[in-house]
């Protein structure tokens, strides 16, 4: 399989080139276009309970769509809901990835997605309470709102990232969620919960916050004033 990213970094579209019989799995609604002959099937990946957990807790769709190429091969174009960049990452048994809500666009059939509780330290933050773990082996495509920043952390090096700006982290990175400071400081600064990451490993961040967009639209739309 060959995956290429076009129209980055503002309106990224990912083209997944498939050989005969190859399969790509994508978030429901992520498909933009396909070549002729691609077989499409939507189902609850991993069974009912795993799909419900991924949907209700992890922020992903209940159904995952599988695209299978015919004998002549083909391609599938996918994109995220919000404008921004996309990145292709490799998942291996010794190199899983931890994804934020809504970051997953599509992946090869050998990649499994599961929702896991981030621990009591992350529970209060909501956005980081349940995270998607990508395991197995294959390519996974992540989308972000805005541009993508990748922070390379050395062993013991720490960085603080607003919870709404996290996209993904390598499994080697330790993480916890906490308030910026006191409630009054949070109100004055506009910041709430932040992730504290400790290396070694990479931390991927998006330059825009989807939750901030929702909050702005809610305040600006006419029905919010009635």
C-alpha 12/C-alpha 148 separation (Å) is 11
C-alpha 99/C-alpha 106 separation (Å) is 12
* Domain contains 176: yes
Across 160-182, average pLDDT: 87
* Domain contains 223: no
* Domain contains 191: yes
For residue 223, what is the DSSP state? G
pTM: 0.81
**pLDDT grade, residue 88 (50/70/90)?**
very high
Across 4-23, average pLDDT: 96
Domain that holds residue 8: 2-217
Residue written as tokens 């990748």? 150
C-alpha 132/C-alpha 197 separation (Å) is 17
Which pLDDT does position 224 carry in this prediction?
A: 53
Q: What is the 3-state secondary structure (H, E, C) of 78-124?
A: ECCCCCECEEEEEEECCECEEECCCCEEEEECCEEEEEEECCHHHHC
pLDDT in tens, 95-132: 999 998 889 999 999 999 888 755 544 444 445 456 88
CATH of residue 158's domain is 3.60.160.10
For residue 60, pLDDT over 60 is answered with no
* Domain contains 224: no
For residue 51, pLDDT over 50 is answered with no
- Which is higher by pLDDT, 186 or 166? 166
For residue 106, give both structure tokens. Answer: 């599509």
For residue 136, pLDDT over 60 is answered with yes
* Domain contains 222: no
C-alpha 109/C-alpha 41 separation (Å) is 13
For residue 8, pLDDT over 80 is answered with yes
Which pLDDT does position 217 carry in this prediction?
A: 85
* Domain contains 225: no
Domain count for the chain: 1
């Amino acid at each position: 399989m060959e995956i290429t990213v076009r129209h980055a970094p503002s309106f990224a579209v990912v083209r997944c080139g498939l050989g005969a019989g190859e399969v790509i799995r994508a978030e429901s609604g992520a498909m933009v276009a396909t070549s002729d002959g691609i077989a499409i099937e939507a189902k609850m990946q991993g069974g009912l309970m795993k799909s419900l957990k991924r949907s209700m807790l992890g922020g992903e769709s209940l159904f995952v769509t599988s695209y299978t190429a015919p004998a002549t091969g083909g391609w599938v174009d996918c994109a995220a809901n919000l404008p921004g960049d996309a990145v292709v990452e490799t998942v291996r048994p010794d190199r899983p990835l931890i994804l934020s809500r809504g970051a997953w666009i599509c992946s090869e059939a050998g990649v499994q997605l599961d929702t896991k509780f981030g621990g009591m330290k992350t529970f209060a933050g909501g956005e980081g309470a349940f995270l998607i773990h990508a395991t197995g082996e294959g390519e996974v495509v992540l989308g972000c709102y805005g541009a993508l920043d990748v922070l390379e952390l050395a062993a013991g090096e720490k960085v603080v990232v607003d919870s709404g700006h996290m996209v993904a982290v390598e499994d080697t990175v330790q993480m916890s969620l906490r308030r910026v400071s006191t409630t009054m400081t949070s109100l004055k600064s506009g910041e709430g919960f932040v992730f504290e990451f400790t290396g070694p490993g990479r931390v991927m961040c998006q330059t825009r916050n989807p939750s901030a967009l929702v909050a702005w639209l809610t305040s600006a739309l006419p029905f919010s004033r009635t």
